[in-house]
Amino acid sequence: MEVAETPRSVHADNRTAPDYAPVLRLLRRGASGALLVQVGGAGFSLIVNVLLARLVGKAEYGVYTFALSWITVLTVLSLLGQSSSVVRFVPTYVHRQEWGTLRGLRRGTSLLVLAASGMIMLIGAGTVLMLRDRLGGTLEHTLLVGFLLLPVLTQLSLNGAFFRGFKRAVSSGAYNNLVRPIVLIVLVLVLALLLGLRLTAPGIMAVSVVAALVTLACSEWRLTRAWPAAARRVQPGYDVPAWLKLGRRLFFLATIGIVSDRVDVLILGGLAGAEAVGPYYAAARLAALALYGLTAVNTILAPMIAESYVADDHVRLAGLVHHAAKLTFAVTAVVALAIAVAGHWVLGWFGNGFPESAYVPLLIMLGGQCISAAAGPVGFLMTMTRYEREASWFLGASALLNVLLSVALIPAFGLIGAAIASAASTIAWNLSALVFVRARLDVNPTVLPLPNRR
């Protein structure tokens, strides 16, 4: 997949014009479907978090979210970068009609991440048992149960990546964003209301494991039915060196990304205690709603970037990312404004003390996300072409900035300091990546009408 470093601009002729409008229609249609899934998932996620906070109380909810944050970090590590590499390899194999390698990709990556998640699960459990006296019984048991989520969540994420690679935007997010929280809500209501059981943080984590298993079964069934007919019965081919090479680079990038995304929660829990995490986590979940427009567009955009790049179609690539930036910023700004207006009231659903401590951090995080959306899909422009190594440098610098700011600001400003650190590092990553993308790929991924450099 070696392509010239600077894509040629000679495609701006009549031969590419007929393909451009259908591509934009596909982008809008796929983004609309993914956005509906994201919005629906946001609603169910909000219901889940409010329900859990009400049922178990502020302290137990803080322990659960703190443990879940660690499980999320370890899930990304267990994926070994393969979920991102799948999104890049699938459109490449389909474009080249390499059906055997496509079939081998599914089998090979599943085995890789299963082995990695099992190893990390055992190491994590051993570490928790060694630190059991320092962690306390509730957090220890919650973490031990939570490790059972690792092999399930990794396979679920991998299935979603295959759906994305096939440009099935709705299916890529429906199971994790809709099916999983719906099953979790049903199980919690049955246990708490119908059976009258008193749920604690370890119990909620156990229910989460069951919900994830049910979701994975549904996802596997749907992916098997959606698999291309030409790739069903062919002999699988295994290009393991290529998968591991790209996966290694994307693994490093994903590791930095999740650390940067969760370091504020983890440092806040370490410096201020697990109870302080609850209100901040609630604010972060609300602020994440503003990113659903960006996530929805990128769901369908990522494989289209990879496809355009491997075909050396610079005109389509440039038009896609600029159009996508306008879509994502419009949605992000509208949602962020709505959350800013209703945020204080919504935070009150979680319980006493949530609005007073979490509303200002919520506003800070919303501002950072709006600026990030204006910069456009710079991350995918780098990882879906061949600049994943450079992307890791920029993201690593922003992660380090997040850590330094968190350590400096959280002791003095608490939740507000954590929010400032998170927003500042996110803005720094997007702006630095934007400068690089403009220089190397000669595209305008922002909402601004900037001219091409060449």
pLDDT at 210: 94
Closest CA to 206 of 290, 271, 142: 142
State the pLDDT at residue 119: 94
User: What one-character-per-residue DSSP string does 407-444 give?
Assistant: HHHHHHHTHHHHHHHHHHHHHHHHHHHHHHHHHHT---
Residue with tokens 């934009």: 24
In angstroms, the first-to-last Cα distance of the chain is 24
**What single letter denotes the amino acid at residue 333?**
A
Q: Global pTM?
A: 0.68
pLDDT at position 249 is: 74
* CA separation, residue 351 to residues 49, 253, 373 (Å): 11, 37, 31
pLDDT by residue (tens digit) across 352-390?
Answer: 777 777 888 889 999 988 888 888 888 878 878 878 778
d(CA 409, CA 403): 10
Angle at 331 between CA 325 and CA 334, to 5 degrees: 135
Q: Could you give the CA distance from residue 58 to residue 239 in angstroms, rounded to a whole number?
A: 49
- The predicted pLDDT at position 120 comes to 92
Asked if residues 370 and 333 have their Cβ atoms less than 8 Å apart, the reply is yes
- Under-50 pLDDT residues of the chain: 1-19
Spatial distance between the Cα atoms of 116 and 169, rounded to a whole number of angstroms: 27
Question: 């997040």: which residue's tokens?
Answer: 402
Tell me what pLDDT residue 51 has.
80
**Triad 341, 342, 346: Cα angle to 5°:** 155
| Tokens found for residue 24 | 């934009």
Residues 6+ apart with CB under 8 A from 400: none
Tokens of 258: 């999740």
| pLDDT at 215 (0 to 100) | 95
Rounded Cα–Cα distance for residues 206 and 189 (Å) = 14
| Ramachandran angles phi, psi of 227, nearest 5° | -65, 135
